[in-house]
A and B are shown apart, each in its own frame.
Chain A
């Protein structure tokens, strides 16, 4: 009975925390400057990617250091659409500079906004499906899989940088400022985009929560615990691994699209090795295996980054590295794990004061 009570008490606590967070998100435009709101919107987009990465890494135990690619593919899809809009029927400027005379066929797909959004989700998903099909089915996993995701980054970045005429090369795609004919820089637009991003994040969180609580989610955790055992129960782990890999790639693609709307540029450096690793750090530091932890990690780390890298740009990278080491060694469950443990301990202390017999106490701490 007591265990039950405890569970429901912490559930109320959690529900209140979620409501509070939602209220804060909704009210943020009221008390932040345009500049800060834009930053926050960008971080929320990152949080979407972090949640997807957490499903893959935290829940299923598959570490990808290549999610920057999926993020970038989503970003490019949106940027290509915006660029076509900005060029108003003419050839985008960088194509002219590279001597193209006609719009490449695959660019024409991005003339419609709806199609661009679909492709911004579908292309990263298909790339993930392709990579997942050949790795998971052949039981390539662990560090070997991670290395392959890094290879994916190298290949993608090289390809995009090399095909300057089609992709804008190192400079990426920029020089646009309107969506549906409205300026992206207008304050109302900024607020609208902020709310869209916040809403997408909430939907992604709810969907992920549903997945994690479902039997599908239990199979994912079972795969993390013992892939072979899952297999001998009659599940095909490769299918589950592919499903979650594709889903997390799709989330990253969505995040990339929103990112471009907030920031107005996408370039190969934003999908490279460092951004890919950074995404993993958000999840590690926030708390892997908890959805809210991943989202919080993305917000906090990027908040800290914008504060620190404005004042001490040169030590930011070192700081981040150090933080990563500290969390992996001392806080394997990240900030959320730390908070949960602290909360648990406080409750234990309270209970001790109320005089719970020794044997009961030890049982609680074992749970």
Chain B
């Protein structure tokens, strides 16, 4: 496989009881960079991410990670250990743990039963957690129960957890949903920054957000790749307009 490619989806198909949510999807990601994945509701974006991180098993095609690792054969926790981080559409954190403990568990480390029994948190790790807390704007809130955070703060915490994992591929499903404009901008900047060291895929509906931060955009429709290009190319494209407008027309009548 090409040195610069970290993930390649070849002809991936995912079906639910015969219904093909993703059919023959192709996607190639470089080692670094921010990729936006857009498409109307039900296009199969979430399902594609699910297939990559092992939540659903593709019924056809191949998903190849780094130098030829076939992800379809691995379990979720093994895929996570390979360095693929996932953020879900709804914020999912551990509400009864403190904010710090959430980050502590996410931190890159050995994750076996015995390893977790033996470790103590090092002062360097504590410092790392502190720094990360500041970075995600939860500076003074480390010892609070995570369940008590606001919706936006939970989103941030989850992004912080993903960063603690130090993944080489990061999959985010609508990370800015429910955030204020300022928070959204901050998220965008953070994503751009972290994408300098790793591959980041962001599913997003907010076109304003995509326009501000995207370099390459992948458009999905009905489980397939519709087109790929810069935001300008995408916006100028007839088919994309039709897919989005068509949806809108349906929705109004």
Residues of A within 8 A of B (CB): 3, 211, 214-216, 218-219, 221-222, 224-226, 228-237, 239-240, 243, 366-367
Contacts and interface: CB of A to CB of B under 8 A. Distances in A.
Given A218-B101, A219-B105, A228 B116 contact: no
A238 to B, nearest CB: 9
Given A216-B113, A231-B76, A367 B95 contact: no
Contacts of A240: 113
Contact of B116 (A219, A221, A225, A366): A219
B92 A214 contact: no
Interface residues of B, number: 32
B96 A215 contact: no
26 contacts: A3-B143, A214-B116, A215-B116, A215-B119, A216-B116, A218-B97, A222-B94, A222-B105, A228-B76, A229-B93, A232-B80, A232-B85, A233-B80, A233-B106, A233-B111, A234-B77, A234-B78, A234-B80, A234-B111, A234-B165, A235-B77, A236-B111, A237-B77, A240-B113, A243-B113, A367-B144
A233 B143 contact: no
A199 to B, nearest CB: 23
B53 A232 contact: yes
B161 interface: yes
Nearest to A239: B113
B113 A218 contact: no
Contacts of A219: 105, 116
Contacts of B81: 234
B104 interface: yes
B86 interface: yes
B77 A229 contact: no
Interface of B: 53, 55, 75-78, 80-81, 85-86, 92-97, 101, 104-106, 111-113, 116-117, 119, 121, 143-144, 148, 161, 165
A232 B162 CA distance: 10
B86 A225 contact: no
A231 B85 CA distance: 11
A23 B55 CA distance: 53
Contacts of A235: 77, 105, 111
Contacts of B80: 231-234
Contact of A215 (B53, B55, B75, B104): B104
Given A232-B53, A235-B105, 16 more contacts: A3-B143, A214-B117, A215-B104, A218-B105, A219-B105, A222-B97, A225-B95, A225-B96, A225-B97, A226-B94, A229-B93, A232-B77, A233-B80, A233-B165, A239-B112, A240-B113
Contacts of B77: 231-237
A366 B148 contact: yes
Contacts of A226: 92-94
Contacts of A3: 143
B97, B113, B165 interface centre (most CB from chain A within 10 Å): B113
Contacts of B53: 232
A60 B57 CA distance: 28
Given A233-B105, A239-B113, A366-B148, A221 B96 contact: yes
A229 B76 contact: no
A99 to B, nearest CB: 47
A3 B145 CA distance: 14
Q: Give the top 5 A-B pairs by smallest Cβ distance, nearest first.
A: A234-B80, A225-B94, A216-B116, A234-B81, A215-B116
A232 B97 contact: no
Contacts of B55: 232
B106 to A, nearest CB: 5
A358 to B, nearest CB: 19
A243 B230 CA distance: 50
Contacts of B165: 233-234
Contacts of A216: 113, 116-117
A367 B53 CA distance: 35
